[in-house]
Amino acid sequence: MSEPALSPEEQAARADLLERARLLFAGRVDFLKSAPALKFLPDPEVPEIAFAGRSNVGKSSLLNALTGRKSIARTSVTPGRTQELNFFEVGEPTRLRLVDMPGYGFAKAPPKVVEQWRRLVRDYLRGRVVLKRTLLLIDSRHGVKPVDDEMMQMLDEAGVGYRVVLTKADKIKATDLAQVLAATQAAARKRTAAYPQVLVTSSELKLGIEDLRAAVLEDSEI
């Protein structure tokens, strides 16, 4: 958490970014479509920021908090359900898209479903020219699990830059959170395509949401 001190110019630039990010998400956010296969992807017209994480990591809640909507992203997908990429448009006219990737790591998924998931996610990550960044969500209570390592490996191999985001920070004690944060940062530093800084969030307490909005705006390069 020890960020280097910012110069007055950097502080002003940061405040400006935060305000632009706030305004962006205070404006239009609409669900566009679900894509169960690559042929259903929308035309690559604007930058995309994707969200990945284990099932139940809090991805839908974070997307709702980020966009200031109560239920734009549907919570908790049933294991074995059709795997889809869900696209949301931000801005009027559309300036960027948020992409909700199907959750992974559910215990009882049949191998066929896992393979479908892998193919869809890998092909999207490898082939999507407008994909600027992925946000990889990790549950604060669990830290980086082997399935998250696999996801990091896929992102590294696809050469897609990603930020690691801890979710549900309200669920654990501050001392435990500090430990998980340090371990998660250490895991991120070992990865070629990961940002070394890890964002800490709680959708419940709206913690870290402004920083997340700023990261999305910055990463989309609009």
- Residues in the site for ligand GDP, rule: CB under 6 A? 53, 55-61, 75-76, 103, 167-168, 170-171, 202-204
Q: Where are the alpha helices (DSSP H) in 105-194?
A: 111-127, 146-158, 174-189
- CA angle 109–113–118, rounded 5-degree value: 115
Burial class (CB in 10 A: 0-12, 13-18, 19+), 191: middle
Closer of 130 and 207 to ligand GDP (Cβ): 207
Min separation Cβ 203 and ligand GDP, Å = 4
Q: What is the distance between the alpha carbons of residues 221 and 217, in angstroms, rounded to a whole number? A: 7
Min dist CB 84 to ligand GDP, Å, is 13
Of 91 and 213, which has the nearer Cβ to ligand GDP?
213
Q: Which residue, 94 or 116, has its beta carbon nearer to ligand GDP?
A: 116
User: Residue with structure tokens 């990865």?
Assistant: 191
Contact 73, 178 (CB under 8 A): no
| Closer CB to ligand GDP, 69 or 95, in the complex | 69
Cβ proximity to ligand GDP, 184 vs 203, nearer residue? 203
Strands 162-167 and 131-139: parallel
CB of 139 to ligand GDP, least distance (A): 9
**Residue 38, C-beta contacts closer than 8 angstroms, at least 6 positions apart:** 120, 123, 124, 127
**Amino acid identity, residue 182?**
A
CB of 160 to ligand GDP, least distance (A): 20
CA gap 32, 48 in Å, rounded? 13
Task: Kindly tell me which of 107 and 129 has the beta carbon lying closer to ligand GDP.
Answer: 107
Q: How far is the CB of 60 from ligand GDP (least distance, A)?
A: 3
CA distance 125 to 119: 10
Least gap, CB of 64 to ligand GDP (angstroms):
8
